[in-house]
Each structure stands twice: as C-alpha cells, then as structure tokens.
C-alpha cells in the first residue's frame, strides 16, 4: 500500500466509526491525508459496539472471528501485528451444532477429526471433504486475494484473461445448493456446510458457489476468539488509527453532505459545517445517499433500494445468568428445526419464523473476564427477515420460545437465573445505525448483487464522495468490511494521483 503524501494535505471526513470507516480512515492517514471520523454514537465499532451491565461485558454484534489472515494483513500494512493489540485463541471445538432429536455434534478444529466426523455421517465423505475444501481453498485464495480487493466500478477490471479464467473456476454461475450436493448427500452434512449462507447472506439456491470459500474459512482456517471480546478488535483499530493521526469525534451525527457544483464541500452537523476535500460515507449506504444528499445528487432511487435482496436482520438478546450452564460451547447452533422452512420465511415469504433456528454465543465458556465469577454471558440471535415490526410482545414471545429449547438442551432451568436481559431488533438497528429496513448484515450475496452489481463505492454524481461498508463491495461481514475501507482509500488515492 502506498504511503505517498499528497502534494497538499487534503482533509477527509469519514462518516461512521465501524470497521469499514476505521479501515478507510487509517489507510488514508497513512497516505498523508488529514482524516477526521464523525460518529453518531457514543463510541466506535458500529454494529460491533460493546456495553457493560450488571458485571457482564456484552459484544453487541459480530461474535465469530473467521479469516484471521485478513486481520493480520490489515495490521501488517501499518507495520503492526494483531498481537500488538489483542490476544487470539483458537476454539476447539470450533462450535457445537444441535440437530433435531437432541443430537449434538462438536465440530473439531483438527482436520483429521473433522474427516472422521464426516465419515460417521456418510461413508466416503472424508475424501470428498478434502476435495471440497481444496476447491474452496482456491476460491478463498483468488476470491479474497484478488477479487474482493477490486473496486467493482467497471467490468474492465475483469478484462485480464487470467482473471476471466479465475472467475470461471470460482463457480460464480453455479449455485451453492447444487455445488455442495456434488460432494455430500447426508442432511446433517448439508446443513453444516450451508449454515454460513443462511446466517450471512441468502438461500443456498440463490448464492453463487464462490461462497464455499466461507467453508474453507470455517473448517480449515478455524474459529478464533480475541480475549476480552470482539470489541478488542475495534479497540486495536482505534488505537492504530490514532497512532496514524486520525481524529475521532463521537456523538456527532452528520445531518447533510453538502454539495456544490458536483463536488462535496463538507458535511453539516448539529455543531456546524465541517469542510472537506473528500467525504467517505461509512454509514448505512441507503441513509447516506437517500437522506444526507439532496435529490439531484443521488445516483439511486427508492425503487432501486426496495428491489435489493437484503441479508437477514436479527432478533438479539443479551442475557446475564447467575450460574454456569452445562452442555454449552462458546458457539452453539440450534438446527433443531427445519432450516429450509426458516430460510423461506426470511427470503420467499418474509415474516416472523414459525419455528426459528437460533444461535447462542457463550463467551464466558472461554473468557472469565466477560462475566462475574460463576455466571454465564449469553448472546442469543435469531436470523429474521428485514423490515418487520418488532413490538415488545413479539420479542418476548421469541425469547421464551428459544429459552425453552435452550433449557431443554442444557437440562436445567435458566430463565429463573437471569439477572440481566436486553433485547435488540429492527427498530434498534434503525435508531442506532440508520439501518435500511432494519437490516443487520447488508445485502445478500446473490449473483445479481456481486462485484459491479453492488451499489457503487464512488458516487457517479459527486466526484469526491465515496461509500464503504457492507452495502457496497465486497459485501457483508467483518473481514469484507475491513477490506472495503482499504479499497476505498486506494480509490481516493488514485483519484488524487490523477489530478497531480
């Protein structure tokens, strides 16, 4: 990454202190720009904020640490290491899956044990797992190493014949559903390899087989945890940003991106006007474009946004329990109901699910610092359709529904031991993040929403306005957001280099 200082120092305002905003700001500061981040909330992290209550420390959003190489590469760009900011441990088992009939399976970290597990369910599938992951490793190497770093502004970016060959080998025209069934037939194994799609993107029928790279990240690269919680990543990124001279201002919502003659001159906040040579919107893309820009400067309209396929939203519960719970792992996937039906209720017929799948993170199983001694810290998540009404009685209904299943799994009462409880859903995502339709993860990873078919990272009407985050390239998730910020910084640098 270039660290060339602009001939005249340029002022950049980044809207939002999430992963993408922090990455963009730090990358631009390294290049010599004067960068200020304006964040509407009281602290950094965006959806990865943290809060403390009743002696518990709750990560508010992301809880899975996958693709550790992406984080290492990010800090390495600045001459640093992950270990300079937080300590990582690899989880073993990586996670636990609870299937129908109270069948519980630990997913081992060791590949030899994982093969044995696959063989248990389907003789011969151990060797097929090796081939599946070999192909997934290629997709990961090319997809993460090359394609996700492309700005997605033109098809000409893919004009290199070598890239076209790579694109064909990435299976972008084949569905994940069809791809995985070439290797596995057992329903348990299919649910296992398809779960990242449901929780982060779309149905497997509508997701390109390219995203089997997520299985490589999961099963081969492993599941990790930063001691102290996921917010430790944010703290490390903030520390690095400040080391590079980035200024962060909290409780400063942006009210307008001010444009004159096709150029953003700065932003308006409640405290007044802030001038800028470049504006990078790391806030929700729809909000930034449809609400912070005057109509004549918007590239998209509401019908465009309404036609997008959103990834799931989430109903979340942060729960503190005054006793330890048996039979839990750090990560627990409850697939004790029909995955296909749940997916249909998210995508095909959006409504509250009849019998939801859900996920429980219990970081206190790994980390004693996130809960008082003898207590359990629980983060419960139900993937749900975006744009639903979420009154308190609906939230409470689903809380009791999944807690009853959790109690059955653990073999003990839990609700009578709860000393802290907080719910979080659509209206909270809208209030805290201006989230379009209350989405939690951004756009679904469908073929029609890949690369150049995503909302563009550079405004086509305002020449010095850029967008970053999960609604533009490369897509949803923490590592993609981290990459998104770096790609935007690269595009800003290109633009100013051409003007020199």
pLDDT digits (tens, 9 = 90+) for 12-63: 999 999 999 999 999 999 999 999 999 999 999 999 999 999 999 999 999 9
| Closest listed residue to residue 192, CA positions, set 209, 201, 174, 204 | 204
Share of the chain above pLDDT 70, in %: 95
Token pair 């990240």 is found at: 217
Q: What is the largest CA-CA distance in the chain?
A: 68
pLDDT surpassing 80 at residue 159: no
Token pair 């081992």 is found at: 108
Mean pLDDT value of segment 74-97:
98
pLDDT: is 358 or 496 the higher one? 358
Of how many residues is the chain composed?
500
Give the separation between CA 265 and CA 12, rounded to whole angstroms. Answer: 10
Mean pLDDT value of segment 383-400:
97
- Domain ranges in the chain with CATH number 3.50.50.60: 11-48+65-80+229-307+443-499
pLDDT surpassing 70 at residue 165: no
Give the separation between CA 420 and CA 414, rounded to whole angstroms. Answer: 12
pLDDT surpassing 90 at residue 453: yes
Mean pLDDT value of segment 267-284:
97
**106 DSSP β-pair partners:** 96
**292 — phi, psi (to 5°)?**
-95, -15
Average pLDDT over the chain, rounded to an integer:
94
Task: List Cβ neighbours of 74 (8 Å cut-off, separation of 6 or more).
Answer: 23, 482, 486
pLDDT of residue 172: 83
Mean pLDDT value of segment 167-178:
84
pLDDT surpassing 70 at residue 156: no
pLDDT surpassing 90 at residue 474: yes
User: What are the pLDDT digits (tens) for 316-329?
Assistant: 999 999 999 999 99
**pLDDT bracket for residue 2 (50, 70, 90):** very low
Token pair 């897509």 is found at: 475
Token code pair at residue 214: 């997520």
Mean pLDDT value of segment 114-142:
97
Share of the chain above pLDDT 90, in %: 85
pLDDT of residue 164: 55
User: What topology does CATH give the domain 11-48+65-80+229-307+443-499?
Assistant: FAD/NAD(P)-binding domain (3.50.50)
Give the separation between CA 95 and CA 169, rounded to whole angstroms. Answer: 30
pLDDT of residue 347: 87
Please tell me whether the overall predicted TM-score, pTM, comes out greater than 0.85 for this model: yes
pLDDT of residue 203: 83
**pLDDT bracket for residue 298 (50, 70, 90):** very high
pLDDT of residue 3: 47
C-alpha dist (Å) from residue 497 to 48, 468, 492: 34, 20, 9
**pLDDT bracket for residue 202 (50, 70, 90):** confident
Q: Are 115 and 130 in contact (CB under 8 A)?
A: yes
**474 — phi, psi (to 5°)?**
-85, -15
pLDDT of residue 317: 99
Give the separation between CA 52 and CA 175, rounded to whole angstroms. Answer: 42
pLDDT surpassing 50 at residue 1: no
pLDDT surpassing 90 at residue 267: yes
Task: List Cβ neighbours of 471 (8 Å cut-off, separation of 6 or more).
Answer: 284, 285, 286, 436, 442, 443, 454, 455
| Closest listed residue to residue 142, CA positions, set 176, 159, 161, 167 | 167
Q: Are 146 and 166 in contact (CB under 8 A)?
A: yes
| The three-state (H, E, C) secondary structure of the chain, written as one string | CCCCCCCCCCEEEEECCCHHHHHHHHHHHHCCCEEEEECCCCCCCHHHCEEEECCEEEECCCCCECCHHHHHHHHHCCCCCHHHCCCEEECCCCEEEEEHHHCEEEECCCHHHHHHHHHHHCCCHHHHHHHHHHHHHHHHHHHHHCHHHCCCCCHHHHCCHHHHHHHHHCCCCCEHHHHHCCCCCCHHHHHHHHHHHHHHCCCHHHCEHHHHHHHHHHHHCCCEEECCCCHHHHHHHHHHHHHCCCEEECCCCEEEEEEECCEEEEEEECCEEEECCEEEECCCHHHHHHHCCCHHHCCCCHHHHHCCCECCEEEEEEEEECCCCCCCCCEEEEECCCHHHHHHHHHCCCCCCCCCCEEEECHHHCCHHHCCCCCEEEEEEEEECCCCCCCHHHHHHHHHHHHHHHHHHHCCCCHHHEEEEEEECHHHHHHHHCCHHHCCCCECCCHHHCHHHCCCCECCCCCCEEECCCCCCCCCCHHHHHHHHHHHHHHHHHHHHHHC
Mean pLDDT value of segment 74-89:
98
Mean pLDDT value of segment 212-224:
97
pLDDT of residue 199: 62
**pLDDT bracket for residue 170 (50, 70, 90):** confident
């Amino acid at each position: 990454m270039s660290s060339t200082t602009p001939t005249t120092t340029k002022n950049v305002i980044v809207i939002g202190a999430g992963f993408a905003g922090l990455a963009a700001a730090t990358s631009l500061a390294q290049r010599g720009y004067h960068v200020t981040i304006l964040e509407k909330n009281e602290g950094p992290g965006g959806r990865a904020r943290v809060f403390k209550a009743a002696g518990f420390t709750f990560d508010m959003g992301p809880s899975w640490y996958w693709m550790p190489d992406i984080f290492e590469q990010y800090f390495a760009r600045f001459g640093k290491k992950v270990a300079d900011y937080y300590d990582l441990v690899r989880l073993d088992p990586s996670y636990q899956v609870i299937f129908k009939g109270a069948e519980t399976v630990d997913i081992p970290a060791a590949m030899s044990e994982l093969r044995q597990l696959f063989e248990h369910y389907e003789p011969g599938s151990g060797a097929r797992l090796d081939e599946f992951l070999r192909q997934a490793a290629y997709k990961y190497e090319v997809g993460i190493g090359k394609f996700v770093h492309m700005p997605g502004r033109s098809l000409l970016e893919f004009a290199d014949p070598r890239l076209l060959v790579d694109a064909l080998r990435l299976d972008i025209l084949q569905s994940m559903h069809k791809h995985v069934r070439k290797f596995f037939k057992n329903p348990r194994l299919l649910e296992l390899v398809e779960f990242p799609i449901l929780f982060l993107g779309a149905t497997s029928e509508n997701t390109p087989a390219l995203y089997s790279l997520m299985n490589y990240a999961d099963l081969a690269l492993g599941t990790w945890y930063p001691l102290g919680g996921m917010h430790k990543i944010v703290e490390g990124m903030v520390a690095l940003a400040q080391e590079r001279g980035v200024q962060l201002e909290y409780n400063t919502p942006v009210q307008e991106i001010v444009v004159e003659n096709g150029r953003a001159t700065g932003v308006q906040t409640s405290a007044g006007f802030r001038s800028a040579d470049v504006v990078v919107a790391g806030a929700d893309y729809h909000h930034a474009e449809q609400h912070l820009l005057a109509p004549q400067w918007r590239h998209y309209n509401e019908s465009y946004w309404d036609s997008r396929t959103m990834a799931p939203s989430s109903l979340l519960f942060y729960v503190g329990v005054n006793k330890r719970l048996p039979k839990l792992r750090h990560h627990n996937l409850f697939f004790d109901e029909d995955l296909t039906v749940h997916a249909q209720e998210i995508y095909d017929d959006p409504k509250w699910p009849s019998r939801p799948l859900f996920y429980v993170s219990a970081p206190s199983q790994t980390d004693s610092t996130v809960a008082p001694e003898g207590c359990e810290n629980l983060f419960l998540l139900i993937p749900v359709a975006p744009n639903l009404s979420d009154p308190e009685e609906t939230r409470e209904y689903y809380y009791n529904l999944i807690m009853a299943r959790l109690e059955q799994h653990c073999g003990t009462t839990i609700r009578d031991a709860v000393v802290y409880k907080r719910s979080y859903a659509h209206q909270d995502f809208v209030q805290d993040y201006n989230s379009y339709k209350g989405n939690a993860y951004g756009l679904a990873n469908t073929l029609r929403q890949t690369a150049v078919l995503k909302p563009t990272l550079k405004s086509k009407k305002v020449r010095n306005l850029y967008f970053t985050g999960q609604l533009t390239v490369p897509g949803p998730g923490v590592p993609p957001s981290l990459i998104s910020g770096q790609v935007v910084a690269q595009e800003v640098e290109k633009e100013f280099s051409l003007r020199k």
